[in-house]
Amino acid sequence: MSLYLGLDSSTQSLTAIVLEVDRAGTRIVYEHSFAFDEALPEYGTRHGVLAADRGGHADGGAGVAVSSPLLWADALDLMLATIAASGIDLSRLAAIAGSAQQHGSVYLNATAASVLGHLDPGRVPSAQLAGCLSRPVSPIWMDASTSRECEEITAAVGGPLLLAGHTGSRAFERFTGPQIRKFFTHQPDAYAATSRVHLVSSFLASLLAGRHAPIDPGDGSGMNLMDLASGTWWRPAVDATAPGLAAKLPDIAPSWTIAGTLSAYWQARHALPPARIVVWSGDNPCSLIGTGLVREGLAAISLGTSDTIFGLMREPRIDTTFTGHVFGAPTGDFMGITVFANGSIARERIRDQFGLTWSGFSAALASTPAGNDGRMLLPWFDPEITPLVLEPGLRRFGLALDDGPGHVRAVVEAQMMALALHSKWMQVDVTTIHATGGASANRDILGVMADVFGAEVCQFAVGNSACLGAALRARHADAVARGERLTWDEVVGGVVDRLITLRLQADRERHAMYLELMRAYAAREAQALGRDARPIDSRA
């Protein structure tokens, strides 16, 4: 009998899931989560993002969103201490894998390799790692401040089609390459003092293993730097991003690679065994596993800080509309994904604006008719990724400022219609949607999802499928390392399907109504963006 630990370091929180695997099957035996703002208030984050007076805008300006790598390190320490005190027999812990918010980058100087390997178990990690940072903050996926760098990289490699053809995406503001370029142009000395650029995922794997860990193709494909087909750095993009970058990037290795064993620091600090440390991946690639999408043709929607829609692809199908991305999948395949920045943050803003609890939010949704009697909004509280909106602001249509229930339905309908409209490029037959993320606990939101897509929606007992996916990846990588043959169907089978708690069917009439409403939504979106409605509308 073995235990596998999955960790998910997301924008706002850290989650852990422990799986127990024996001949009878796989069970979740432990699950714990805490929010960064509350568990580590000394870092001064709001929703996991550093406030302006804590370094949040120190190196940027408008559209900047940064967090602290030391916060993530201390959170890991706090979580391992909590798990160690939980009473589980951790001597059976065989492997640890992780998931992290994608795109964020961590900049380390040349001392890091030695410091990572010689941490003092008597002290918290942050106190010892601070001197290794060549940049005290990490730009994260919510950052929208690199349009200029996106243009420069695109031009240097020969245009968006070439960049997307190789890396899986046109240049996106939050992607790591444009962020690295901005650091190089704004702080050339600090860039020169950087010897390793990690992603959040590879940084945390390095911290656990006590040495520099590789990047997996799932998270590497969110950088505008990796050649998808070969899973190696694409030299024209690397050279277009910043001088000397090739020497600063970690290796890329398959998602089931063992990066090392849990370092002496963690073993001594929390009395943990020398478990295998599996290469970490991004939260969306991990969610693909945690929602059981190891076959083509199924789709998942994650309603987290960001809302995302994704599905597995055997062959990379590049999005020539440049809306979404092709990432590597932890199975060694690919995944199509479209990302919306205004996910839970938009839902929370409406909830808070009208003084509601989540049950009040649900009640408001249930009390309003499908279609909202024509009331609509465009939910762009923050800069939006899909479609690209760099100057945020809510746009209301027929919606009075004090109409709480109207706003609740309008934000949910807008999000679901945007998800449906902008994911057409993925060519996935959306007949069944696996819903995940915090807001997937809300049955009324899933009802709107089913009706907008005209699909069956499955709700899971585990809201954090990225964390479950990480734990399942730990199990898979451990089996590979032991020389066992274990298919991905076997990894997820009997685990993910057993967690389905509810299947919601679409209402045909309401779906027909939403198909009409989507045309109006697409037209309003196009109008707000100052362009003709046809490109979106013709695909509706």
Query: Cβ closer to ligand XUL: 194 or 344?
Result: 344
Show the binding pattern over residues 265-304: x = contacts ligand XUL (CB under 6 A), - = does not.
Answer: -----------------xxx--------------------
Does 101 bind ligand XUL (CB under 6 A)? Our answer is: yes
Q: Which residues pair with 20 in a beta bridge?
A: 3, 27
Q: At 366, give phi and psi (nearest 5°).
A: -70, -25
Longest CA span, the chain: 64
The residues, ordered by sequence, that sit 6+ positions from 24 with a Cβ below 8 Å of its Cβ are none
Tokens of 415: 């999000």
Using DSSP's 3-state secondary structure scheme, residue 171 falls into: coil
Query: Cβ closer to ligand XUL: 67 or 284?
Result: 284
From residue 340, how far is each of 122, 388, 422 by CA, in Å? Answer: 42, 9, 10
Query: Cβ closer to ligand XUL: 300 or 339?
Result: 339
Does 463 bind ligand XUL (CB under 6 A)? Our answer is: no
- Alpha carbons within 13 angstroms on the beta-carbon side of residue 275 total 30
Q: How far is the CB of 340 from ligand XUL (least distance, A)?
A: 9
Query: Cβ closer to ligand XUL: 305 or 368?
Result: 305
Q: How far is the CB of 222 from ligand XUL (least distance, A)?
A: 6
Query: Cβ closer to ligand XUL: 283 or 413?
Result: 283
User: Identity (one letter) of the amino acid at 356?
Assistant: L
**Rounded to whole angstroms, how far apart are CA atoms 26 and 496?**
10
Among 43, 72, 141, 233, binds ligand XUL (CB under 6 A): 141
Q: How far is the CB of 223 from ligand XUL (least distance, A)?
A: 11
Show the binding pattern over residues 412-451: x = contacts ligand XUL (CB under 6 A), - = does not.
Answer: ----------------------------------------
**Rounded to whole angstroms, how far apart are CA atoms 213 and 259?**
6
Pairing of strands 334-340, 307-313: antiparallel
Q: How far is the CB of 11 from ligand XUL (least distance, A)?
A: 5
Among 306, 344, 372, 459, binds ligand XUL (CB under 6 A): 306
Q: How far is the CB of 76 from ligand XUL (least distance, A)?
A: 16
Using DSSP's 3-state secondary structure scheme, residue 104 falls into: coil
Among 139, 178, 217, 222, binds ligand XUL (CB under 6 A): 222
Show the binding pattern over residues 372-401: x = contacts ligand XUL (CB under 6 A), - = does not.
Answer: ------------------------------
Q: How far apart are the first and last CA of the chain?
A: 50
Does 174 bind ligand XUL (CB under 6 A)? Our answer is: yes
Query: Cβ closer to ligand XUL: 237 or 272?
Result: 237
Query: Cβ closer to ligand XUL: 8 or 525?
Result: 8
Query: Cβ closer to ligand XUL: 291 or 306?
Result: 306
Query: Cβ closer to ligand XUL: 119 or 341?
Result: 341
**Rounded to whole angstroms, how far apart are CA atoms 513 and 503?**
22
Query: Cβ closer to ligand XUL: 306 or 342?
Result: 306
Q: How far is the CB of 134 from ligand XUL (least distance, A)?
A: 24
Show the binding pattern over residues 489-528: x = contacts ligand XUL (CB under 6 A), - = does not.
Answer: ----------------------------------------
Contacts with ligand XUL: how many residues (CB under 6 A)? 15
Does 339 bind ligand XUL (CB under 6 A)? Our answer is: yes
Tokens of 71: 């916060």
Q: How far is the CB of 203 from ligand XUL (least distance, A)?
A: 15
Using DSSP's 3-state secondary structure scheme, residue 522 falls into: helix
Tokens of 403: 């109409």
Tokens of 112: 């890091």
Query: Cβ closer to ligand XUL: 306 or 464?
Result: 306
Q: Which residues pair with 98 in a beta bridge?
A: 7
Chain-centre distance for alpha carbon 277: 20
Query: Cβ closer to ligand XUL: 166 or 407?
Result: 166
Pairing of strands 299-303, 432-436: parallel
Q: How far is the CB of 162 from ligand XUL (least distance, A)?
A: 21
Q: How far is the CB of 118 from ligand XUL (least distance, A)?
A: 31
Q: How far is the CB of 308 from ligand XUL (least distance, A)?
A: 5
**Rounded to whole angstroms, how far apart are CA atoms 221 and 296?**
19
Does 11 bind ligand XUL (CB under 6 A)? Our answer is: yes
Q: At 427, give phi and psi (nearest 5°).
A: 50, 35
Query: Cβ closer to ligand XUL: 339 or 495?
Result: 339
Residue 19 near residue 29, CB atoms below 8 Å = yes
Residue among 175, 154, 165 nearest 219 (CA): 175
Among 102, 105, 241, 442, binds ligand XUL (CB under 6 A): 102
**Rounded to whole angstroms, how far apart are CA atoms 198 and 350?**
35
Q: How far is the CB of 221 from ligand XUL (least distance, A)?
A: 10
Tokens of 127: 């106190």
Peptide bond between residue 254 and the one before it cis (omega within 30 degrees of 0) = no
Q: How far is the CB of 466 from ligand XUL (least distance, A)?
A: 8
Residue 216 near residue 277, CB atoms below 8 Å = no
Residue 76 near residue 98, CB atoms below 8 Å = no
Binding site for ligand XUL (CB under 6 A): 10-11, 101-103, 141, 174, 222, 282-284, 305-306, 308, 339
